[in-house]
Amino acid sequence: MSSTRAAEVAELLWELKRAGKVATFTAIARRAGFSAGADGKTIRNCITTIRRDWPHLQWWRAIDDASSGKSDAEQVAQLKELGIDLPPEIKKGKPAVEISEELLMIWDENGGAKSGVE
């Protein structure tokens, strides 16, 4: 059974797919009304649930903004198709991956979506 948080994140992944964009773990979690957790643990758990319960959703559109950990090979391949070069191994302390403003989803405080970095 899926959690309420995972269902909220699933809706946001669907929104990202329709917009052709990606978003950071933190941005997705905040938009869904919760914290991404320490090292993104809460949002990672949601992504795991989504991959299990809704495998058709493009979970790979959720980007680890903390750059902490190993990237999934499937995610790397999918993001590369979008023009985002995400190395297969991201080392802690290295700069986060740069994403073009056209591909990054930013939600404003009023719930609207806008593109790019503020």
The answer, yes or no, to whether residue 109 has pLDDT greater than 90, is no
Which structural domains are found in the chain, ordered by start? Answer: 4-115 (1.10.10)
Q: What is the mean pLDDT of the chain?
A: 82
Looking at residue 108, what is its pLDDT? 82
Whole-model pTM: value is 0.80
What are the pLDDT digits (tens) for 44-79?
999 999 999 999 999 999 988 755 555 678 888 888
Give the rounded percent of residues in the chain with a pLDDT score beyond 70.
Answer: 75
How many CA atoms lie within 13 Å of 71's alpha carbon, on the beta-carbon side?
27
pLDDT value of position 39: 84
Q: Residue 118 — very low, low, confident or very high, per pLDDT cuts 50/70/90?
A: very low
